[in-house]
Amino acid sequence: MITITILGNNSALPAHGRLPSSQIVAIRDQHFMVDCGEGTQMQLQKLGMGWGKIEHIFISHLHGDHYFGLIGLVTSMNLLNRALPLNIYGPPELEQILQIQLSIGGGTLNYPLFFHPVANAGEHRILLDTPYYSVSCFPVMHRIPCHGFKFTAKSTGRKIIPEACREYGIPRYFYARLKEGMDYIRKDGEVIRNEWVTAAPQPEPTYAYCADTVFTDSFIPYIQGCHTIYHETTYLKKDEDKAMLRFHSTTHQAAATACSAGAARLLIGHYSSRYEHISEFEAEAKEIFSNTIATQSGDVFTIRYEDVAPPQGI
Ligand SMILES: [Zn+2]
Ligand SMILES: [Zn+2]
């Protein structure tokens, strides 16, 4: 299962009670932070979410509304005696920015901080890959280099059918191999075929955070088939010219991207502070893509294994 918690969803300025971009994406007991705008720490406190489970922070680009909260979070972790390593992924210059901020403050961190640069030329690659999840980055098109991030909660292999296993007398220690697809050979030589005692693997929930981007189909191949995508809607459709000029997107454009990507659900945010109310955003996007939700701070969304259609051909 993937759980997405919206901490901040406004564009450049904090306004109308909305804070700049930040989210927590949780898979199993791992909490990933995606962008860290000003006010992120306060939001974590307000929502009762600690940062103890955050080992990886992904920063999409170096506009302040996506990382001005980072140095505060990094130093608060130090003040509160964090020992767990922290990994930060982002544009190469972010490492220098953090080093300057930390060194001028005169403090050294008591916990290990590892920086992983994401190339400014725009790259698509896997940043993290474990048996339980993977995270990749993909380039979007913005005024400065910018990347989105795709999260996958991996299937843990074929699904054991306990009754069938008991019937065929398969010992429990062999279950791990059954999940990998192996047949079981009994002592008398009889082969128990894997498909008799297991079911197809569960489909994998996927989530793509598309960061700040102008309307483009250039990154569709990287997010194709994702169950849920978060796409910025800085502007309503009447302000499409402004969106183009500033390398942002409108409601209709985000919805068109969700259609092209074959998504099941669209989450929108990164609203311009020129709009006090956001109800129109959802209504407009729904004209093109019905399963759209205009996110609010504190919203929580889940993508369960059962929400995802089984892969074809299995
Ligand atoms: Zn932004
Ligand atoms: Zn930006």
* Identity of residue 41: Q
User: What is the per-residue pLDDT across 1-42, written as a single tens digit (0 to 9) for each?
Assistant: 999 999 999 988 788 888 999 999 999 889 999 999 999 999
pLDDT (tens, 9 = 90+) of the chain, 314 residues, equals 999 999 999 988 788 888 999 999 999 889 999 999 999 999 999 999 988 889 999 999 999 999 999 999 999 999 988 999 999 999 999 999 999 999 887 778 999 999 999 987 778 999 999 989 999 999 999 999 999 999 999 987 888 999 999 999 999 999 989 988 899 998 888 999 999 999 888 789 999 999 999 999 999 999 999 999 999 999 999 999 999 999 999 999 999 999 999 999 999 999 998 998 889 999 999 999 999 999 999 999 999 887 886 544 33
Active-site option among 35, 65, 212, 239: 65
Domains of the chain: 2-156+202-307 (3.60.15.10), 159-199 (no CATH)
Q: Model pTM? A: 0.88
Residues 246 and 274: beta-carbon distance below 8 Å: no
Residue 223 Cα to ligand 1 midpoint, Å, equals 20
**If you measure from the C-alpha of residue 14 to the centroid of ligand 2, how many angstroms do you get, rounded to a whole number?**
14
User: pLDDT per residue over 118-137, tens digit each?
Assistant: 987 778 999 999 989 999 99
Q: Is 217 a catalytic residue?
A: no
Closest CA to 201 of 183, 172, 179: 179
Long-range contacts of 131-136 (CB under 8 A, 24+ apart): 131/156, 132/27, 132/28, 132/30, 132/156, 133/27, 133/28, 133/30, 135/32, 135/56, 135/58, 136/222
Residues with C-beta atoms within 5 A of ion ligand 1: 63, 65, 212
CA-based nearest residue to 123, from 222, 217, 258: 222
